[in-house]
């Protein structure tokens, strides 16, 4: 890929990534972000694109979680690790896959727990955009990955960006539910306002750990009970496919 093509995919270097974000998120993140770190992150992504590496999700979908869920509308945060690294799966929302894709084990377990918790049935797909449009911020701690290389973009700088996103939500006056699955997400609990928000922690829903405390944790009903008690309304946890 040429430098020009990589720049076109990533967006302008000046003020990146703020220049790519909706105005509300950009305003909230500007005082929290180290733009020098962000410049190095963009340079690392640009170099990898120019080398011909396949990066998921595609650059135009890097910030889909923030595009679909305005800051003022966030009612719950589900924090993942990094995107799925198989072709056609990741589209910018933690745990979600595009319609027609086979459910990864972690997403299958999430929907299995949702079904048990709320009395639903397995949907046709794992497309979670309907959750995002209701104020569920589906955020990975690292927003990109290379094909077939799990965790390949950890340490490039995304953690600085997503820490700023979590901090912006944490400072909201309205109560929010933070759903932290696994150690990477759970490490964020230390700087959250526990007196204002509800923090739900459990093991990760992956096939390796879901049976050690994820199944039976009932996060979905707990989210709705908390939100309704605080006048913020329940979330319809059905996904893109018919339940």
Which tens digits make up the pLDDT trace of 46-56?
999 999 999 99
CA distances from 214 to 106, 163, 202, 206, 217 (A): 11, 24, 6, 9, 5
* C-alpha–C-alpha distance, residues 88 and 176, integer Å: 31
Q: What pLDDT does 38 receive?
A: 98
More confident residue, 190 or 66: 66
Predicted pLDDT at 243: 56
With a cut of 80, say whether residue 242 has pLDDT above it: no
3-state SS class at 211: helix
Catalytic residue check, 82: yes
**pLDDT single digits (tens) 106-158:** 999 999 999 999 999 988 899 999 999 999 999 999 999 999 999 999 999 99
**Over the stretch 192-235, which tens digit does the pLDDT of each residue have?**
999 999 999 999 999 889 999 999 999 999 999 999 999 999 99
Per this entry, what is the length of the chain?
Answer: 243
Looking at the DSSP bridge assignments, the partners of residue 184 are none
| pTM of this structure | 0.96
Among residues 7, 15, 34, 82, which one is catalytic? 82
């Amino acid at each position: 890929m040429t430098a020009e093509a990589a720049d076109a995919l990533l967006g302008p270097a000046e003020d990146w990534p703020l220049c790519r974000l909706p105005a509300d998120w950009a305003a909230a993140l500007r005082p929290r972000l180290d733009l020098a770190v962000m410049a190095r992150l963009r340079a690392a992504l640009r170099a990898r694109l120019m080398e011909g590496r396949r990066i998921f999700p595609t650059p135009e979908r890097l910030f889909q979680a923030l595009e679909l869920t305005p800051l003022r509308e966030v009612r719950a945060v589900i924090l993942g690790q990094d995107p799925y690294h198989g072709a056609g799966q990741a589209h910018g929302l933690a745990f979600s896959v595009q319609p027609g894709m086979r459910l990864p084990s972690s997403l299958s377990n999430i929907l299995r727990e949702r079904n048990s918790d709320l009395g639903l049935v397995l949907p046709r797909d794992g497309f979670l955009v309907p959750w995002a449009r209701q104020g569920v911020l589906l955020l990975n701690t690292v927003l990109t990955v290379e094909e077939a290389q799990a965790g390949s973009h950890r340490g490039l700088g995304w953690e600085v960006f997503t820490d700023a996103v979590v901090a912006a939500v944490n400072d909201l006056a309205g109560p929010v539910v933070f759903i932290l699955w696994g150690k990477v997400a759970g490490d964020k609990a230390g700087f959250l306002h526990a007196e204002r928000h509800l923090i739900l922690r459990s093991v990760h829903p992956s096939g390796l750990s879901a049976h050690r405390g994820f199944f039976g944790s009932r996060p979905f009903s707990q989210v709705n009970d908390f939100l309704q008690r605080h006048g913020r309304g329940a979330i319809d946890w059905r996904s893109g496919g018919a339940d």
